[in-house]
Amino acid sequence: MAGLEDVPSMDLMNELLRRMKCSTKPDKRLILIGPPGSGKGTQSPIIKDEYCLCHLATGDMLRAAVAAKTPLGLKAKEVMDKGELVSDDLVVGIIDEALKKPSCQKGFILDGFPRTVTQAQKLDEMLEKRGVKVDKVLNFAIDDAILEDRITGRWIHPSSGRTYHTKFAPPKAPGVDDFTGEPLIQRKDDTAAVLKSRLEAFHKQTEPVIDYYTKKSIVANLHAEKPPKDVTVEVQKVLSS
């Protein structure tokens, strides 16, 4: 922990102002569900800043717990080193641990979890012990055909990370970067075949999760095929109602 006396005054003031603004916001506990390419990654930071929530991506949290050598992290490392999958209880335990942080005081955004009904039930049990519950599940609903368009049209300039899209943001000359003239590549994952298998797995796994939360009347179905700005407006309507 760095001494506060070494933090520039401007940064301290900004953080204080941010926390004062946050203290007036309602608590929110949100789950984001959506297939790859549905725009969760675009909306998540906007929601996080607007409502002062912490963003919990279970993959990142597992890696952080392992790196920090927390008791749960050490358990997870043992399992991962054997090439096995980390148990639901362990993941929920790591989420529980993360919720103690000051940044999670106003609530959280869970992304990539729960993926199964069992995980959803375990998450509910853990939150119940804390006297809280999931407030909203944002379902980024989008047609598979639109996703295929979005994802298979993506081309990348490897050294700069610039991305292009054959349909929505094409390079000036086909297949080459606008600035360097170097060739563009397509990520191995960004092919129709890979996408098809990822979507099949996604639907099979998560439709029951969406049903589980629909029965609790907390699912909001977003029109994720719309432009990002429109989706942001939709999210704000859902969360302010």
Annotated catalytic residue, options 75, 115, 122, 136 = 115
Active site residue 198: yes
Q: In angstroms, rounded to a whole number, what is the distance separating the alpha carbons of residues 86 and 78?
A: 9
Residues contacting residue 231 through CB under 8 Å, at least 6 positions apart = 39, 42, 43, 140, 222, 223, 224
Residues contacting residue 154 through CB under 8 Å, at least 6 positions apart = 163, 164, 165, 186, 187, 190
Active site residue 40: yes
Annotated catalytic residue, options 187, 196, 216, 237 = 187
Structure tokens at 118: 């069992």
Which residue shows structure tokens 């360097």?
Answer: 180
Structure tokens at 213: 């939360």
Q: Which strand (E) or helix (H) includes residue 155?
A: strand 154-156
Annotated catalytic residue, options 29, 40, 106, 122 = 40
Helix (H, G, I), strand (E, B) or coil at 20: helix
How many residues are recorded in the chain? 241
In this structure, the strands spanning 136-141 and 154-156 are: unpaired
Active site residue 19: no
Cβ contact 183:176 at 8 Å: yes
The residues assigned a catalytic role are 40, 115, 154, 187, 198
